[in-house]
Chain A
Amino acid sequence: MSRITYREALRQGLREALARDPRVFLMGEDVGRYGGTFAVSKGLLDEFGEQRIRDTPLSELGFVAAGVGAALGGMRPIVEVMTVNFSLLALDPLMNTAAALRHMSGGQFSVPLVVRMTTGAGRQLAAQHSHSLEGWFAHIPGLKILAPATLEDARGMLWPALQDPDLVLLFEQGALYNQEGELDESEVVDIRSARVRREGRDLTLIAYGGTLGKALAAAEQLAGEGVSAEVIDLRVLRPLDDATLMASVRKTRRALVVDEGWRSGSLAAEIIARIVEQAFYDLDAPPARVCSAEVPMPYAKHLEDAALPQVPAIVAAAKGLLGLA
């Protein structure tokens, strides 16, 4: 065990991947000289040189598409997009090309590319740097979507993502970069399963990325009130690990999804639909969700806090499911 931040864990993952496979390289805006917008890649330029730590122009469409091309050409690129909002400038290569290519070429071309980007609010960065669009990307067949919420996943998801033959989007929660803790070096990280992060009997809280910590805090508070909440960390947003979800929901008979995305047409909506489709007769209450308010993220701290899922709202919704409100 070693004490480390989420940012340092991500950097360790990058360093290990770069050291392990000469085909791996990192490119993106300010990943080199600047040291990474959020300092994730700090020091890597000195260690690996300009060929493998490539500062790009402000051309999200161009360099994400170039990442797709480089992957097709035999490399294992890691492309960093500063925030998920900026990735909207690069939707064409991600969706029209990379996600579709294998199927539309009749199985001839896979795109072994990893795109990392920051997601989520909580840092008063307002409406063009704070959204949680990973659930939106999770709509797209051909993509794999990862959301590391723990130090182990922050460090450990990158390598299996690079081993994966298809495009993987890795969403780093911006509010977690400074989170510090003990890294369990022995944990084996996969990129296929959801994990039970806390066991419980009375209801299942389903969370990921930035909402995992809040769900765990809510579970702790609920425990003080005699409610035993199980907490699931989705980890992989596409493809969803239905088996782990349903096993938990069948056991607790109640499900509450906590999702930083907007409610309408959200990942939370998809998860609830699956629970209803697959576990309806095991439920003791209608599944519920706590999502972000459906507004562009405001700047002022009190408004941003009000727009996001927070522990009291999670606790209240959980108690509502149990008829304890």
Chain B
Amino acid sequence: MTNTPVSYPPEFARQLLRDMLRIRRLEERAAELYGEAKIRGFLHLYIGEEAVAVGVLHALNADDAVVATYREHGHALLCGVPMGAIMAEMYGKQEGCSRGRGGSMHLFDAGTRFFGGNAIVAGGIPLAVGLALAERMQGGRRVTACFFGEGALAEGAAAEALNLAALWQLPVLFCCENNYYAMGTALARSQAQTDLCAKVQAFKVPARSVDGMDVVAVHEATRAAVEAVRASGGPQFLEFRTYRFRAHSMFDPELYRDKAEVEAWKTRGPIHTYSARLKAQELLDEAGFLALEAEAVAEVEAAVAFAEAGTLEPVETLMNDVYTPEPQP
């Protein structure tokens, strides 16, 4: 659990904390900007779950493919999408990573092989299987990592995709972010089999459950799983047990869960527990922590300034890219 020693080189150990802070501060600022009506639509915050994206994505190679959900600001950021492009996207500006067409739920970046930003629950899972199929058929070694929540495992798409990945032995890393609630419906109220690993093992996909509040545990488990995918060519499944500290979206009054439960999970918050461990192991001191904080805040403010200064796509190009433009002779 959270007592596993941090045995990383100091710089990398701090990098994990830095990235969790970057996501946290980005999203806290996004929530404020939502209140100011700078950001509209649906905004789903990842606050509380940062250890998962950070731990997983630091275990992947830069050219591995990533398919994510609509709660994906952190995943996009860790894949290398500049924070300014993420913020500008939420502002609906054409400097955004999807030119302002996607918004918070549809961040995309071809350059870093970040395949969204998928807002149909489980829709990204068979898509990831297809990306892995293409990789296999072209003789590549790249892995496709696919993020989804535990709610997605109630969808037919998940069952079909798990079967296909196992049947064809495709190089997919299934990353289940189990935050225990599908919007407002608790796992036990929506799935008869609440042991997610058992469910997935029935499809003959090797599965393991991991403490998703512990960035080190996430990172170690993912490294092992990615190695197994690359070695065997077949899929692996990781269940990350985590918790969403904020509401499902900005429209959620949170009628479905106890405040005490939320508070209990907050004591296991991934950022403060990890920074405490770094300090205890003398990998970080308070000044170092404050420096990381300041760095994150500065990056967020620069991103906000970038988004504020961004421009709106002219209405004249509204119809562009419904279809791929024909090459000009």
A binding-site residues for B, Cβ under 8 Å: 25, 51, 56-57, 59, 61-75, 77, 92-93, 96-97, 102-110, 141-142, 144, 165-166
Contact = CB atoms under 8 A, between A and B. Distances in A.
B96 A106 contact: yes
User: Which of B94, B106, B123, B130 has the largest count of A CB atoms less than 10 A from its CB?
Assistant: B130
Contact of B108 (A71, A93, A108): A108
Contacts of B322: 102-103, 141-142
Given A61-B126, A62-B157, A106-B99, 19 more contacts: A57-B160, A61-B156, A65-B125, A66-B164, A69-B127, A69-B131, A70-B133, A72-B131, A73-B65, A73-B130, A92-B120, A97-B123, A102-B323, A104-B108, A105-B108, A106-B100, A109-B110, A110-B324, A142-B323
Contacts of A144: 323
Given A72-B115, A75-B138, A102-B324, A65 B126 contact: yes
Interface in B13-33: none
Contacts of A65: 123, 125-127, 129-130, 157, 161
Nearest to A79: B130
B113 to A, nearest CB: 9
Interface of B: 65, 94, 96-102, 106, 108-110, 115-118, 120, 123, 125-135, 137-138, 156-157, 160-161, 163-164, 167, 320-324
Contact of B101 (A62, A72, A97, A106): A106
Contacts of A92: 120, 123, 157
B160 A73 contact: no
Nearest to B170: A66
Top-8 shortest CB links A-B: A69-B130, A73-B134, A62-B160, A106-B99, A65-B126, A66-B130, A105-B108, A59-B160
A97 B108 CA distance: 13
Nearest to B105: A104
B134 A74 contact: yes
Residue among B94, B160, B164 having the largest count of chain A Cβ atoms under 10 Å: B160
Given A62-B160, A108-B98, A57 B167 contact: yes
B111 to A, nearest CB: 8
A116 B324 CA distance: 21
B154 to A, nearest CB: 14
21 contacts: A25-B137, A57-B164, A61-B126, A61-B156, A65-B126, A66-B133, A68-B130, A69-B127, A73-B138, A92-B157, A96-B120, A104-B106, A105-B98, A105-B101, A105-B110, A106-B94, A106-B98, A107-B320, A109-B110, A109-B115, A166-B324
Contacts of B98: 104-106, 108
Contacts of B94: 106
A75 B132 CA distance: 11
A144 B326 CA distance: 14
Given A56-B164, A74-B134, A105-B106, A62 B126 contact: yes
A49 B109 CA distance: 35
Given A59-B164, A62-B161, A106 B108 contact: yes
Contacts of B65: 73
A296 B191 CA distance: 35
Contact of B137 (A51, A62, A72, A103): A51
A141 B321 CA distance: 11
B277 to A, nearest CB: 38
